């Protein structure tokens, strides 16, 4: 664990997730390409923009996963309930969220 000063002066607690990442099973989710999306847009008249920057922070962890990323400090234990981007599982889950959201939107277009 390391404490790093952010550019704005606040502090960030960082952990090294390499041992956890080595033990994780990776799930791969492919986002739709432009070629996948364009045929669905032919009749579209209304467009919108989705901002999913750092979507992995919106992925809720179950209790077992949350315990795996617990940090032990001199002040006690800190357990996060949502997905930090530093471990591979949260990024895969975020990609799945984006892909499934896109699929719903593409199928919903009439």
Q: Does residue 10 have a pLDDT over 90?
A: yes
d(CA 21, CA 86): 9
d(CA 110, CA 38): 14
Tens-digit pLDDT profile for residues 28-78: 666 678 888 788 778 888 877 766 666 666 667 777 877 777 777 788 887
d(CA 67, CA 64): 5
Which pLDDT band holds residue 8 (cuts at 50, 70, 90)?
very high
């Amino acid at each position: 664990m390391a404490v790093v000063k952010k550019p704005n002066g606040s502090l960030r607690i960082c952990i090294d997730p390499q041992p956890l990442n080595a033990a994780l099973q990776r799930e791969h989710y492919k986002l739709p390409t432009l070629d996948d999306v364009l045929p669905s847009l032919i009749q579209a008249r209304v467009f919108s923009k989705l901002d999913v920057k750092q979507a992995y922070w919106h992925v809720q962890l179950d209790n077992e996963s949350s315990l795996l990323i617990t940090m032990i400090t001199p002040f006690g234990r800190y357990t996060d309930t949502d997905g930090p981007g530093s471990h591979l599982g949260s990024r895969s889950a975020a990609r799945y969220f984006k892909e499934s959201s896109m699929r719903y939107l593409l199928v919903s277009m009439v």
